[in-house]
Structure 1
Amino acid sequence: MKEEHFKWYSPTLSKDIEMLVFGHAGYPVILFPTTMGKHNECRDMGLVESVRWFVEQGLVQIYCPDSINELSWYNKNIHPADRAKNHAWYDEFVMNELVNKICHEKGLQKVCVAGPSFGGYQAANFAFRHPERVSHMFSMSGSFDIKSFVDGHYDDNVYFNNPVDYLPDSNHPDLWNMKIVLGVGEWDICLDANKRLAKILSDKNIPFWYDERKWAEHDWPIWKQMFPHYLSKL
């Protein structure tokens, strides 16, 4: 399985960013790490290995970028408005320095986004904010309400990065064309969060697959079962 490491200075974030890319060809999948995770986490925890067959067959290429959660939602040393603003810049980074570049190189209009745990939030938030650029969204044990990270503060950056708030108000036509998977375990700490998002999607008649796995907890073993299953639906 081909693996490449990239490091560059991000003009959007004004900091160095690292990314691993797996595979030599195929449909692009941006895979976000969990809370405070970096570009190597999904490799080191075996999530990339779980989809080796798809990568080696040239069916997909997997892009694993750094997160900046330690500078945004999880940074208790700055004002909540700045936490939200920093994440808004991360959203710009994903669009301008990843998605646009990947789509240009591959001659595509859309990508797939995926992630476990907080990476599931990252994937869902980017997909629902930019449905015109996302064909598939695979959330594995994600949570979709970030108000607990902002200590009661609320502004446009909070609203537009909080899917349970803005999604009910969105009527972007590409939402109804996206292939959406909400994967969660029966004993998952994010079970209620997935049921809540599922209801929002159902109320809007947006097609999606709600995949609740029996006897499963919020951890890597179930994500390593989910991810190859979801990629098989590409």
Structure 2
Amino acid sequence: MEVRYFKEPSRFLNRDMEFKVYGQGGQPCIAFPCECGRFYDFENNGMVQAVAPLLEEGRLLLITVDSIDRESWNGEGPARPRIEMQERWHNYICEEIIPRALQLSAWNGRVLTAGCSLGALHAVNLYLRRPDLVRGAIGLSGIYSAAYFFDGYMDDLVYRNSPMDYMANMPADHSYIPLLRDQGKLILCAGQGAFENDALASTQELTHILRNLGVNVWKDIWGTDVVHDWPWWCKQLPYFLRNLLDTGN
């Protein structure tokens, strides 16, 4: 499997940002690490090895990116500067990483996103906000309300990054609804074991909101032995990725 490391300047974040690319081509999937994680966490925790057959078959190009959670979701200080940093990071992903992923993969279409824990929020938020750029997402053990991270603080940018809030208020005739309903696929998964209670409740609630809008979502709840940790995510990711890769562009 081909592995490439990049360190490139971001105009949105005004710093160099690191990421790794696994595979030679195929459908690009942008992968987000856990809370405060780094771009190498997927590799170090077995996730890259778990999807190695898809990479080696040329069906998948995996791009693992850095978070800035310590400055945004998990930062200290006033909420507004932290959520402004999150929004700059969101723009970095949309305007810099996604075009780069398409260039590196020579893919003519939209990308996939995937993430676990807080990375699941990033993956799902990106898909729901920008289905014009993302055709499918996998959220593993995610919490999809910004209230969990901002202690109830709400403004325009927090709202924009809180899927359970903005999707609950999305008009049924919004232009993105057909993209989400007919041309995309969202997979939400949670276990019922240790440290999964909040993720399980959030997964259930977001699924209910989306289904009321007619949005295409596959909710998959795993057993009481499934805990909030990498070994289970290593089982889940290839299982769900195969499904997304088998459902077109």
Q: TM-score range by the shorter chain?
A: over 0.9
Question: Which consecutive segments of 4 or more residues in structure 1 shift more than 4 A?
Answer: none
In structure 2, distance between residues paired with 1:63 and 1:6: 10
The yes-or-no answer on 1:98 pairing with 2:97 is yes
In structure 2, distance between residues paired with 1:205 and 1:82: 35
Q: Where does structure 2 lack aligned partners over 5 or more consecutive residues? A: none
Contact 2:2 2:22 in 1 (8 A): yes
Aligned to 1:191: 200
CA deviation string 1:157-214 (max 9, x = no partner): 0110100011123331211121110011022231101111111112112121111111
Aligned to 2:179: 174
What's the RMSD between the two structures over aligned residues?
1.2
Aligned to 1:71: 71
What percentage of aligned pairs have identical amino acids?
30
Q: Secondary structure at the match of 1:211?
A: strand
Q: Secondary structure at the match of 2:69?
A: coil
1:221 aligned to 231, 234, 243, which one?
231
CA deviation string 1:134-169 (max 9, x = no partner): 111011111101123224432110110100011123
**Where do 1:1-234 residues align within 5 Å?**
1-76=1-76, 78-104=77-103, 106-170=106-170, 171=174, 172=176, 173-176=178-181, 177-187=183-193, 188-189=196-197, 190-214=199-223, 215-233=225-243, 234=245
In structure 2, distance between residues paired with 1:155 and 1:36: 23
Given the two structures, how large is their TM-score scaled by the length of structure 1?
0.96
Contact 2:128 2:180 in 1 (8 A): yes
In structure 2, distance between residues paired with 1:204 and 1:194: 16
In structure 1, distance between residues paired with 2:152 and 2:145: 13
Q: How many residues align?
A: 233
- Cα distance change, pair 49–18 in 1 and its aligned pair in 2 (3 A): same
Segment drifting more, 196-205 vs 169-178: 169-178
Given the two structures, how large is their TM-score scaled by the length of structure 2?
0.90
CA deviation string 1:31-67 (max 9, x = no partner): 0000000000010000111010000111100000101
